[in-house]
């Protein structure tokens, strides 16, 4: 393996290591459409002082054209790894550390399962980013979200734990490195703990959970249910003081006894 490939395996390797230790992580999701340079600066400071583990950058729409600037500003002001969480193949910035290479395995829209990947593959590969294959499972969050509309694919019904479990198992056996259970940004109902628990009991790869989480208690309960990484975007846009509170709760989760 080339030296560069080893260096670029950092984020996936850290997710695996944390899972082994039972260390739960907090990812702050920043939508480039929702920040300007000043508000981004203050968000970055809060992430640094709260010791957020990752900053995810992405949005379902990305109307603005300043993804590179946003990522560069975060990299210039912090050492927190920046992970792209792209809503479309155009959301690639070589300045980030890694990219969640999402396949919408809960849907049956071939474009989001493989079509867009084929078209963007040379471009994504040449970005030099650490590419992390991610089984993306969208769960009904109680109201249509941007992701459910844009994806043109039915989400997993919120109470169908078996469907979520089988989808995650299939993703794992197809070789995906992460599972991301998402109720969609600003979801009315976040993913139920029962579903998180069922999925986490049936796959060994790290489990990311997000969508509609608005407080520290819910974040902690999700960790208890088996989530490895908690992602919050919308609620932080409304009240950035949540970063400190949620980070403290997630990091208070006891490590596994090895
Ligand atoms: C959305 O999982 C992320 O895709 C985060 O959701 O914005 O509701 O926190 P929120």
pLDDT tens, N- to C-terminus, the chain (258 residues)? 444 444 444 999 999 999 999 999 999 999 999 999 999 999 999 999 999 999 999 987 656 679 999 999 999 999 999 999 998 888 999 999 999 999 999 999 999 999 999 999 999 999 999 999 999 999 999 988 888 788 889 999 999 999 999 999 999 999 999 999 999 999 999 999 999 999 999 999 999 999 999 999 999 999 999 999 999 999 999 999 999 999 999 999 999 877
Provide the 3-class DSSP secondary structure of residue 3. Answer: helix
- For residue 36, the CA-to-ligand 1 centroid distance in Å is 19
pLDDT digits (tens, 9 = 90+) for 168-222: 999 999 999 999 999 999 999 999 999 999 999 999 999 999 999 999 999 999 9
Q: What is the pLDDT of residue 1?
A: 44
Task: Read off the tokens for 101.
Answer: 């290479």
Ligand 1 pocket check: which of 189, 233, 238, 250 to mutate, most ligand atoms within 8 Å of Cβ?
233
Q: What is the pLDDT of residue 4?
A: 45
Q: Which residues line ligand 1 (CB under 6 A)?
A: 29, 182, 184-187, 210-213, 231-235
Task: Read off the tokens for 51.
Answer: 């010791």
CA distances to 60, 100, 103, 125 from 118, rounded to whole Å, are: 19, 15, 12, 11
d(CA 3, CA 12): 16
Q: What is the pLDDT of residue 65?
A: 76
Atom of ligand 1 nearest to the CA of 234: 7
Q: Do 97 and 10 meet the contact criterion of CB atoms below 8 Å apart?
A: yes
d(CA 178, CA 73): 27
Q: What is the pLDDT of residue 63?
A: 63
Please name the residue whose Cα sits nearest to atom 2 of ligand 1: 210
Please name the residue whose Cα sits nearest to atom 5 of ligand 1: 211
Q: Do 212 and 186 meet the contact criterion of CB atoms below 8 Å apart?
A: yes
d(CA 98, CA 56): 9
d(CA 33, CA 115): 26
User: Which DSSP state fits 33?
Assistant: G
User: Using CA atoms in the order 207, 211, 216, 220, what is the torsion angle rounded to 10 degrees?
Assistant: -30
Q: What is the pLDDT of residue 61?
A: 63
- For residue 231, the CA-to-ligand 1 centroid distance in Å is 6
d(CA 185, CA 211): 5
DSSP 104-156: ETTS--HIIIIIHHHHHHHHHHHT-PEEEEEEEEEB--SS--HHHHHHTSPPB
Q: Which of 236, 234, 258 is nearest to 247 (CA)?
A: 236
User: Which DSSP state fits 9?
Assistant: T
The residue written with tokens 């089984």 in the block is 135
Atom of ligand 1 nearest to the CA of 208: 2
pLDDT digits (tens, 9 = 90+) for 113-134: 999 999 999 999 999 999 999 9
């Amino acid at each position: 393996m080339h030296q560069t490939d080893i260096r670029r395996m950092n984020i996936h390797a850290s997710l695996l290591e944390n899972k082994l230790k039972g260390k739960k992580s907090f990812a702050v999701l920043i939508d480039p459409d929702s920040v300007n340079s000043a508000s981004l600066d203050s968000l970055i400071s809060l992430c640094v002082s709260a010791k957020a583990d990752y900053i995810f950058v992405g949005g379902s729409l990305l109307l603005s054209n300043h993804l590179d600037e946003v990522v560069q500003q975060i990299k210039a002001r912090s050492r927190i790894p920046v992970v792209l969480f792209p809503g479309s193949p155009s959301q690639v910035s070589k300045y980030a550390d890694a990219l969640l290479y999402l396949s919408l395995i809960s849907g049956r829209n071939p474009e989001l399962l493989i079509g867009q990947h084929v078209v963007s593959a040379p471009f994504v590969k040449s970005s030099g980013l650490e590419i992390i294959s991610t089984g993306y499972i969208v769960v009904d969050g109680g109201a249509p979200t941007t992701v459910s509309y844009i994806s043109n694919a039915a989400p997993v019904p919120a109470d169908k734990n078996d469907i979520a479990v089988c989808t995650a198992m299939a993703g794992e056996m197809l070789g995906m490195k992460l599972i991301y259970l998402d109720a969609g940004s600003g979801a009315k109902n976040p993913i139920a703990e029962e579903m998180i628990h069922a999925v986490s009991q049936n796959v060994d790869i790290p489990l990311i959970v997000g969508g509609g989480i608005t407080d520290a208690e819910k974040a902690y309960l999700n960790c208890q249910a088996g989530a490895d990484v908690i992602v919050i975007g919308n609620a932080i846009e409304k009240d950035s003081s949540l970063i400190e509170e949620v980070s403290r709760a997630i990091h208070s989760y006891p490590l596994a006894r090895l």
